[in-house]
Amino acid sequence: MQFSIAISGFVALYIFMLAAFAGWVIIGHVPAILHTPLMSGSNFVHGIVVVGGIFALLNASTVQEQAIGFLAVLLGAGNAAGGFAVTDRMLAMFQPSEPKPAHANKGEHEASQTGKA
């Protein structure tokens, strides 16, 4: 099965500009307190970028196309890894704190303060 999609330069630029503007408007209306959880929850988008970069890399015929595909895969994978790291740190902030253990040497500490050993 052979798929072939041809997008001219102006159409690709238009789609990019439209996506950038839509993202700017949508993210601009999100309250600051929700921004980090929403962005960390959307790590699947980075996976789509990686798949698209792999597709571009596999179908590359020139060195320039190979470089762009490689860069897309590299940046998408780095973005996905960073997003998951941020999500992990953010979720760790919401874990209940463990109670502090009582000192095992509490009796020794009291004895040294009273002068008895």
| Range of lowest pLDDT (39-53, 66-80, 95-109) | 95-109
- DSSP-assigned letters across all residues of 57-94: HHT--SHHHHHHHHHHHHHHHHHHHHHHHHHHHHHHHT
Confidence of residue 113 (pLDDT cuts 50, 70, 90): low
* Cα–Cα distance measured from residue 83 to residue 100, given in angstroms and rounded to the nearest whole number: 31
- DSSP-assigned letters across all residues of 19-41: HHHHHHHHHHTS-HHHHHHHHHH
Q: Is the pLDDT of residue 18 over 90?
A: yes
pLDDT single digits (tens) 31-46:
877 766 676 667 777 7
Average pLDDT over residues 9-26: 87
Higher pLDDT: 92 or 37? It is 92
Q: Is the pLDDT of residue 115 over 70?
A: no
Q: Encoding tokens for residue 74?
A: 């590299």
Neighbours of 53 (CB within 10 A): 20
56 within 8 A of 69, measured Cβ to Cβ? yes
Average pLDDT over residues 79-84: 83
